[in-house]
Structure 1
Amino acid sequence: MSTRRYILDTNVLLQDPLAIYAFDENEVVIPAVVLEEVDSKKRNMDEIGRNARYVARLIDELREEGKLHLGVKLTNGGTFRVELNHRSFGKMKEHFLERTNDNRILAVALNMRIEEEEKQSGITVTLVSKDALLRVKADALGIHVEDFLSDRVVQYDRMYTGYKELSSESKQIDELFENKKLLIKDSPISNSYPNQFFILKDEVNPSRSALGMTSKDGNYLESFVSSEEPIWGIRARNVQQRMAFELLTRDDIPLVTLAGKAGTGKTLLSLAAGLYQTEDLQKYKKLLVARPVVPVGKDIGYLPGEKEEKLRPWMQPIFDNLEYLFNTKKPGELEQILAGMGSIQVEALTYIRGRSIPEQFIIIDEAQNLTKHEVKTILTRVGEGSKIVLMGDPKQIDHPYLDEYTNGLTYVTERLKHLSETGHVKLQKGERSGLAQMAADLL
């Protein structure tokens, strides 16, 4: 008999439709109100609606295994049931009077916990929710509560940064400078990922250092100098920006992910590298810049004007960076330049889904607001000869069911970091202005 019973909140199912299989051989319970909430989302034409429809089909298939209110066996050895009872507000009314859906879920969890304690069954009742305030309310009622963590590709502070700083012998730094590469096979660095950066600090003279990137075969640490030269007037201002420029300008790395808080230069560096390779080197036919329209998955709606006029407020951060790169001074000057060039396209993400995009330098801004499904959809549309850059700040999430550890940018970074075709760097230092850096750090 199961010793743990998990009651799932609606947001768990809308985040991961297969969540009912994530609790091993234990009992999974869905309150009736959760079914009502899922039903209210199934007509949405976004990721949440897609997941709601998937959950509905999945539960309908389980109905063939038996009566859902009595419980059915799952393929992983656990059981699943829809809870129709335990809805009484008798124990809730002295704490939370309003009969909201959240409070109805809390009532089910509270009544179940009390019942199992009275029976001394030894069954632990746990409410699982991604809603922080619901978890706080549950804890106040003495209900055991957890966040849903099975959809996280990385835990807490273990997120991949793309680089490491190591103490090194002087002779190793000398060899890297002289030979442009350093044999690292059978050394601690050999356990690194492809295209991972290392900052070697001289153990005798800490002010002396060398920067290298692991080779694709993992045998060497290789130095590079390409990022020291300005690209479209933009020069790397710190070591992480040098790393980013190296990844952005390499032909053999078609997927680059950049993470960092506001002002670290993600957008400006990517646009400069894209313009350089598209306009100057003509490696790509077009530079495509896309950004999710917030809220993610929604269309731009009934704003007045043509598509370009509707998009301008959402895409303004991109245009700000382009105005800086083209050094425009007059209103409308940037639009004239872009129209004359014809090789730069700025789009909302809504308009690039479903397309095949060959021989283009693609930049996806605010990728932290993409779900796993959405980012997979985008990457599978990248055509032959294209390079794609995903960038954003995982700490700034606008999507209601995503967090720092479950968003599309983190998902791609962690799942693909072992591939030689990918590269990642986390930008740390803000370069927008002293005031912007102070605000990002202290506010």
Structure 2
Amino acid sequence: MPEKPEINTKLYVLDTNILLHEPLAFLSFKEHDVVVPMTVLEELDYIKDSKKDVARDARVSIRAMEDLLHEATPEQMIEGVAMSGLGSGEAAPTGMLSIFADHGMPFEQQAFTSNENDNRIINAALYLQKIKLPRQVVLVTKDINMRLKAKGAGLAHVEDYRTDQLISDIKYLSKGYHTFNGDFWQCVKTVDSRTEGRDTIHTIDKKALPEAYINEFLIDDEEQFAGLVENITEDTLEVLDLGYDRLMGRNAWGISPKNIGQAMAFHALLDPHIDLVILTGPAGSGKTLLALAAALEMVIEKNMYDKIIVTRSTPEIAESIGFLPGTEEEKMAPWLAAITDSLEVLHKNDENVKGSMNYIMEKANIQFKSVNFMRGRSIQNAIVILDESQNLTASQLKTIITRCGEGTKLICGGNLAQIDSNYLSAVTSGLTYLVEKFKNFSGSATINLDGVVRSRLAEFAEENL
């Protein structure tokens, strides 16, 4: 067969942070060839044995490359090994993967003479750009400063890794509800209503909301209508009429909603048919408090679940948790202070707050667990509250979700404006992935809590700082 014309395909040089962000990223470039500089392998080797939270991703990437290259000769590794057969569908790679020994580059060919890893990777890309002309060589990195340095050094093509991004900007992220301007019934031309038991279901024309998805809430800005999309056909939407006042009247564990966003969140949290509830929004919008109040209501009052498991992303937990005294629950307590703070709020009017908290934690069987120790478990008939989930990657979230067995409800909360990870942004966070991937799943609901209710100080800070 005739060889693929190289001139029509690009040569992508990968930075280390790409393979830490997505370990199998080298398989995402379709017909184009991929080069991994030796410096990148050295960095992955150092990270895989460290106690950093990305050590596992480094090991996964190394193993995946080793599986592809283990039978290749040194010459083949330099020339490139075909990646065909490693995927399926239109996105399956057909290009070559090669290792570039950037240590042996001629000194006069180097734009940067200092021996920093970033500089060596840029030098490798510049050298390949020179010897591969007229073929396009592209450096791919998530490091903004590295992109600036590479451009300044003369590299023509530098890109961020966007293959994994489901949305281009966080403002396009699904909110979980749609607000109609004016009166809802003025926006709907035709409607067919029916009653099923105590529920009223309206069938409306899909043209009124062509991009609707299952479990999306519908409200109007005149505070007259509140509904939930229950079924979608080619031409129609079936909307369950929730009633605006009835929705605002929902409460759990003595907590009532302060705005329509919290009311919608309560409806999703207390619905036993919804297995995954995703709560996004700024600090102070009530994500943790609502989740805990609903969980206590369903475990203690309604006996729907056996226990509450609380977990969260803990940066550098591998280094930090071992030095803390006590059991796993006691070690996790400092990381999960938000939960104990919320418990205090829920019982602030009791005579003995501490006694009430201890009694409730025992009665509801509240367990504090580390995300690191969730792998391999199977959680049955429980409510899992995953706090601060914006700091998790899509693969880490998958690990947690796949632990949920029969009768388990997962509540994920997070603020995409407070990402602590060096390898994630708002559009690449696992929480963003979760919202977009699950929005058409009938067993999930998303609510963006818009509005700080913690205090006027917190609200002002959120808006102005």
Query: Which TM-score applies when normalising by structure 2?
Result: 0.85
**Displacement of 1:423 after TM fit?**
0.7
Going from structure 1 to structure 2, the CA distance change for 1:300 and 1:187 (only over 3 Å counts) comes to: same
When residues 309 and 191 of structure 1 are mapped into structure 2, their CA distance, relative to the original with a 3 A threshold, is closer
User: How big is the shift at 1:189?
Assistant: 2.5
The C-alpha deviation readout for 1:181-208, integer Å capped at 9, x for no partner, is: 321244332541110012235xxxxx46
Map 1:259-338; keep pairs closer than 5 Å. 259-295=280-316, 300-327=321-348, 332-333=354-355, 335-338=357-360
Q: Deviations over 1:391-438 (max 9, x none)?
A: 111232222322212222222221121111111111111111111111
Where does residue 88 of structure 2 map in the other structure? none
Structure 2 unaligned regions, length at least 5: 85-92
| Residues 1:251 and 2:272 are matched in the alignment | yes
Residue equivalent to 1:142: 154
In the aligned structure 2, how far is the partner of 1:40 from the partner of 1:220? 55
Instruction: State the match for 2:230 in structure 1.
Output: 215
1:323 is matched by which residue type in structure 2? E
Matched, 1:200 2:216: no
Paired residue total: 432
The CA distance in 1 between the partners of 2:375 and 2:94, in whole Å, is 38
Structure 1 residue 376 displacement after superposition: 1.3
**Matching residue of 1:407:** 429
Which among 390, 396, 399 is matched to residue 412 of structure 2?
A: 390
SS of 2:34's equivalent in the other structure is: strand
Mean Cα deviation higher: 345-354 or 398-407: 345-354
Query: Residue 40 and residue 220 in structure 1: after superposition, are their counterparts in 2 closer, same or farther (change >3 A)?
Result: same
Task: Determine whether 1:2 maps to 2:20.
Answer: no
Q: Provide the residue aligned with 2:96 in structure 1.
A: 79
- Report the Cα distance in structure 1 between the residues aligned to 2:278 and 2:215, rounded to whole angstroms: 12
Q: Report the CA distance shift for 1:252/1:216 in structure 2 as closer, same or farther (over 3 A).
A: farther
Helix, strand or coil: the match of 1:353?
Answer: coil
**Secondary structure of 2:154's aligned partner:** coil
Q: What is residue 13 of structure 1 aligned with on the other side?
A: 19
* 1:177 CA displacement: 11
When residues 115 and 171 of structure 1 are mapped into structure 2, their CA distance, relative to the original with a 3 A threshold, is closer
Shift of 1:336: 2.9
| 3-state secondary structure, aligned to 1:82 | strand
User: What secondary structure sits across from 1:313 in the alignment?
Assistant: coil
Determine helix, strand or coil for the equivalent of 1:272: helix
Distance 1:142 1:209, change over 3 A: farther
Partner of 2:314, secondary structure, is coil
Describe the shift of the 1:392–1:176 C-alpha distance in structure 2 as closer, same or farther (beyond 3 A). farther
Q: Does structure 2 conserve the Cα–Cα contact (< 8 Å) formed by 1:177 and 1:223?
A: no
Corresponding residue for residue 131 of structure 1: 143
1:55 pairs with 2:51: no
**How far is 1:223 from its partner?**
2.1
Aligned-residue offset at 1:44: 4.5
SS in 2 for 1:410: helix
Deviation at residue 41 of structure 1 after TM alignment: 2.1
Q: Which runs of 5+ in 1 are unaligned?
A: 202-206
For residues 113 and 131 of structure 1, the distance between their equivalents in structure 2, rounded to whole angstroms, comes to 20
- RMSD over aligned CA atoms reads 2.8
Q: Is the 8 A contact 2:190 2:205 kept in 1?
A: no
Q: Which amino acid aligns with 2:226?
A: L
Deviation at 1:171, TM superposition (A): 8.2
Aligned residues of 1:62 and 1:68 also touching (Cα < 8 A) = no
Change (3 A) 1:255 1:122: same
- Distance in 2, matches of 1:229 and 1:418, equals 25
TM-superposed CA distance for 1:266, in Å, is 0.6
Secondary structure in 1 aligned to 2:118?
helix
Q: Which residue of 2 aligns with 1:110?
A: 126
- The change in CA–CA distance for 1:288 and 1:305 in structure 2 (over 3 A counts) is closer
Q: Which moved more, 1:334-343 or 1:64-73?
A: 334-343
Contact 1:362 1:387 in 2 (8 A): yes
**Is the contact between residue 296 and residue 369 of structure 1 (CA under 8 Å) also seen in structure 2?**
no
Q: How does 1:326-405 map to 2 (within 5 A)?
A: 326-327=347-348, 332-333=354-355, 335-338=357-360, 340-405=362-427
Structure 2 CA distance, aligned partners of 1:335 and 1:424?
A: 29
Take 2:187 and 2:25, find their aligned partners in 1: how far apart are those partners?
53
For the structure 1 residues 177 and 283, does the alpha-carbon distance in structure 2 shift closer, same or farther, using more than 3 Å as the test?
same
Q: Which letter maps to 1:198? A: L
Q: 1:342 to 1:230 in 2, by over 3 A?
A: closer
Moved more, 340-349 or 14-23: 340-349
Helix, strand or coil for the counterpart of 1:160?
A: coil
- Give the conservation status (yes or no) of the 8 Å contact 2:275–2:408: yes
- Give the 3-state SS of the residue equivalent to 2:225 in structure 1: strand
**1:166 maps to what in 2?**
180
Shift of 1:356: 1.9
2-structure distance, mates of 1:338, 1:351? 24
More displaced, 301-310 or 415-424?
301-310
| Contact 1:185–1:220 (8 Å) recurs in 2 | no
Which stretch shows the higher mean deviation, 130-139 or 432-441?
A: 130-139
| Deviation of the 1:231 alpha carbon | 1.9
CA gap of 1:329–1:209, structure 2 versus 1, over 3 A, is same
Q: Using the alignment, how far apart are the partners of 2:192 and 2:309 within structure 1?
A: 37
- Give the direction of change, closer, same or farther, for the CA distance of 1:74–1:435 in structure 2 (3 Å limit): same
**Deviations for 1:6-46, whole angstroms, at most 9, x for unmatched residues?**
11001111222221121222221111111111111223477
Q: 1 CA distance for matches of 2:161 and 2:288?
A: 32
Quote the offset at 1:383 in angstroms: 1.9
Q: What code does the residue aligned with 1:401 have?
A: Y
Cα distance in 2 for residues equivalent to 1:265 and 1:323: 14
